[in-house]
Structure 1
Amino acid sequence: MRITRTLAIAAVALAAAATPTAAHAQASSASIAYHGITSAQQVQKFHELSGKGYVPVSLSISSGPSYAGVWVKSSGAAWAMYQDMSSQGYQKRFDEYTAKGYQPTVVTATGSGDAARFAAVFVKKSGSFMAQHNMTTDQLITANLKAQAKGLMMTSIDVYGTDGAPTYAAIWTPNASGVKWHLTYDLSSADHENAFKIRVSNGYRPAYVAVDPGGTFTTIWRNDKSGSWYEYTGMSSSGYQSRFDKLKTEGYFPVQVNSEDGKYAAIWTK
């Protein structure tokens, strides 16, 4: 288990630039979302959107590699994004940027072993945090208990590896308002649906959902107030696009998207 105060190799840094061209791109006045794009198109997106004052708030790398993301207009803190990193490369970037006062806000990965590839967003900010990657299920449970004991709340998680040996990367940040939260992992579609019904009836909502290798789901649940929202899981690329188009007409926009092996999960809010 590696307690990440660290990150690793990469392929893309910051920049500025021009106009969206990647597949499945959609926009509102303050947000832009896309999915099913290649690494090269993701590089294009970085240059196009960062140059227009957008910042990535959701990022997902899946087999291919294929990328999905959500960006919002922001004039806040300095940030950096790296993609197509090895595990060691992610660790290297983590060490480099935390030494400069940055923290990871999103970490996403796909593949297994030496073939695993990572993407991450770093934001310059102060405060405590905890981040780990290459965790087994048992190591995830241990790390989560450790984070909770420190008053931290999980705010990003992704699952890579294989169906039989899932591997986790996660980030925990201060739970300043004392929000009740918990994590479910490796749930089938049916089990996730049951968990959804039970937790929503008890005042919880899915705050972050990841598609695991093999099509199960790992979810961060929070008991907080967030206004109107929708969550859908197990969508194909076209199914996600259909949900996007329908919900957009109702004033909703995705705030988090995750994908693996052609299956998507996403959360929308107004």
Structure 2
Amino acid sequence: MKRIAIATLTMLGLVFPLASKTLASPIDDPNNIDWASIRGYDSKDFNEYFNKKKAEGYRVVDLEVDEINGKANYAAIFQKNTDQRGWASLRDLSDEEFSKRWNEFKDKGFRLIDQEAYTLNGKRFYAGVWEENKGNLGWVSYRNVDGEEFGKRFKQYSDQGFRMIDTEAYSSGGKTLYSAIWIKNTDNVNWVAFRDMSESAYAEKFKSLSDQGYRSLDFESYVRNGEQQYAAIWVKNNGRAWASRRDMTANQYANWWKTYTDEGYRLVDFEAYNTPQGTRYAGIWRQNGEKLSWQPKKAVDNAISEYQKQFNIPGISVAIVQNGKLIYTRGFGYADIEQQKVAHSGTVFRTASVAKLITRALTLRLDDQNVLSIDKLTRTYVPILPQHHTHTVRQLLEHQSGIRHYRGSKRANCEVPNNPAWKDSSNTQYATSTQATELFRDDPLMFSPGAKTCYSTHAYTVVGAAIEGASKQSFTGIFDREITQGLGLSTLRPELISQANPDRATLYRDKTSSTAKNVPSTRDNISWKIGGGGLETSSVDLARFGMRLLPGQSFLSQKSYDDLWRGRKTIQHSGAQNGANSYLRVHSEKGTVIAVLSNQSLELGENDPNQDEAGVGKLTDAISSIILKD
């Protein structure tokens, strides 16, 4: 065992990628494990979440309690309890209660892995996390010692072959008190610990030790003698990537939490602390799984970043699946520029016309269930349609119904007259797709059904009406049953303008210059075209939907699967509308799905025949060439 004795530690944070360093203990540092974290919960909400995660087989590995703006705030990191070890997490204990529990758990063969000291309404409390000591690892802990006593114990336990894994510092009675947890250093891990460091001293130590191959294990910040101080523990890294950031505002922390989670890190240490500038947050993240090791990651990152900068797009989110695994999730830029909310894999964007591919698959599934037949006349299910609607549901799905697209649109040989009497959109909140057909159902067909193929969003509104007529339910209800709830895709759903969604990306207007300022766009009502362009989703859920269209994973019958793919290697759809440009590509090679969403369409609109080439389809092509090349 090697250590550095106590010293009396600006960078907001650093990320350290994979390296060839060795010597790090596997104790409580699994390579890949399911996890979750929360912060800012009151006692009641914390209890509810705690009980929920416990019932799901998780255990607490880090607990934080703080008084922020006069209110108790609870935070915790949960990890899947894969080996079913016994554990306990207790909070709001008095000094006497904590001592009693400490002894009880020690007698039961548990060891303390995290402890907290905090004040609420001027009263001192303690919290702790214990776990079953399955390896009979030697350990020791103490609390409420002053600096001199801490120094003595540091030397004592270091000399006895222990290493520190947790430290706390807090004010009490005008003095700074300390606590610590130690374990026997059975793996002879190199480690270092420092306390009572200024910001500049911490920054210097952070860089020096990181350069030497150490990673942050535990972080603490506190006020001592009127000065902001820092303490930390480092251990020699074993080659897996890690990240550490400090002194973040609540919004900065939220942004980095989302970014690091997307990239494949898990949070292993969380701190909230008071500073003269207000409450600040710190976190340490550890590589979790293989997403960070995916070989094409850097090239894909660069392709998305360059595309975003080239077109000055506020925010982009991308999710990629290969061979049944979600191997890439990233956000670039902002979901909301003014609020400085980053785009990430959970940000909800409009799908625009990608909705058509989703609606087509849904309709085929309903055909499998004998809810409707795609080869029957549409009027079988929508008798409200005038007599001239002689098309089938299949012809609607394949753009062969003769129903017009938007007036004045030009697509190949399918120019639609710009008839001022025709209506294309409405601010009306339609409860059903059947009601929405009033916009165009009396207009003449552009050609006899089946005579040719002409793209039509309105045709997909009629598909929604056919589903409603056959099922006797609203399209939104059927969609929720079969897709949102049926496939477990919570963000993939019809966009209802009346229902607020904090994860929605702000919409931004089209522009023609890469240097133009991004201007928010008013969110328009798109309930009139739910089936053809009225859905919203995160990139992760869109990619997961794409997975359900792949061989062996399809939620369709073989007959409907063959109908959808028709011998092709790729099925795909683009989309562009107010505040959105999207793309979904499903490729049978390597079971590949690429989902790309953004919160601004380019200057070429949905009606432009070159939209695919100008929009994020171009980015999708670039990503495909990277990940599918031999």
One-letter code of the match for 1:190? S
1:129-160 deviations in Å (ceiling 9; x for gaps): 11001011222211111111221111112222
Runs of 4+ in 1 over 4 A off after TM superposition: none
**Structure 2 residue runs without a partner (length 5+):** 1-31, 288-630
**Structure 1 residue runs without a partner (length 5+):** 1-27
SS at match of 1:177: coil
Aligned to 1:12: none
1:224 is matched with which residue: 237, 240, 252? 237
8 Å contact kept, 1:159–1:210? yes
1:190-249 deviations in Å (ceiling 9; x for gaps): 221111011112222211111224642210011232511110111122221111112222
Aligned to 1:182: 192
SS at match of 1:116: strand
CA distance in 1, matches of 2:33, 2:194: 34
CA distance in 1, matches of 2:176, 2:245: 22
1:56-110 deviations in Å (ceiling 9; x for gaps): 1111112243222111111331111100112222111101211222111111121
Structure 1 position 239 matched with structure 2 position 246: no
Aligned to 1:84: 92
Aligned to 2:406: none
Aligned to 2:66: 62
8 Å contact kept, 1:230–1:269? yes
CA distance in 2, matches of 1:58, 1:221: 17
Q: Cα 1:97–1:79, aligned 2, differ >3 Å: closer, same or farther?
A: same
8 Å contact kept, 1:184–1:219? yes
Aligned to 2:175: 165
1:94 is matched with which residue: 95, 99, 102? 102
Aligned to 2:263: 250
| TM-score (norm. length: structure 1) | 0.83
Structure 1 position 260 matched with structure 2 position 297: no
Structure 1 position 32 matched with structure 2 position 36: yes
One-letter code of the match for 1:66? N
One-letter code of the match for 1:49? K
Q: Cα 1:212–1:226, aligned 2, differ >3 Å: closer, same or farther?
A: farther
CA distance in 2, matches of 1:269, 1:135: 31
Structure with larger Rg: 2
Q: Which has the higher contact order (CA 8 A, sep 6+)?
A: 1
Aligned to 1:104: 112
SS at match of 1:254: strand
Structure 1 position 150 matched with structure 2 position 166: no
Q: Cα 1:163–1:184, aligned 2, differ >3 Å: closer, same or farther?
A: farther
Displacement of 1:188 in angstroms is 2.5
CA distance in 1, matches of 2:270, 2:52: 20
Displacement of 1:174 in angstroms is 1.4
Displacement of 1:115 in angstroms is 2.1
- Whose helix fraction is larger, Structure 1's or Structure 2's? 2
| TM-score (norm. length: structure 2) | 0.37
8 Å contact kept, 1:62–1:109? no
8 Å contact kept, 2:33–2:79? no
Q: How many residues align?
A: 242
Aligned to 2:47: 43
SS at match of 2:77: strand
One-letter code of the match for 1:212? Y
One-letter code of the match for 1:249? D
Q: Name the % identity.
A: 22
CA distance in 2, matches of 1:102, 1:156: 16
**Alpha carbon RMSD of aligned pairs, Å?**
2.1
8 Å contact kept, 1:211–1:263? no
8 Å contact kept, 2:249–2:280? yes
8 Å contact kept, 1:60–1:109? no
8 Å contact kept, 1:68–1:259? no
- Whose strand fraction is larger, Structure 1's or Structure 2's? 1
8 Å contact kept, 2:167–2:181? yes
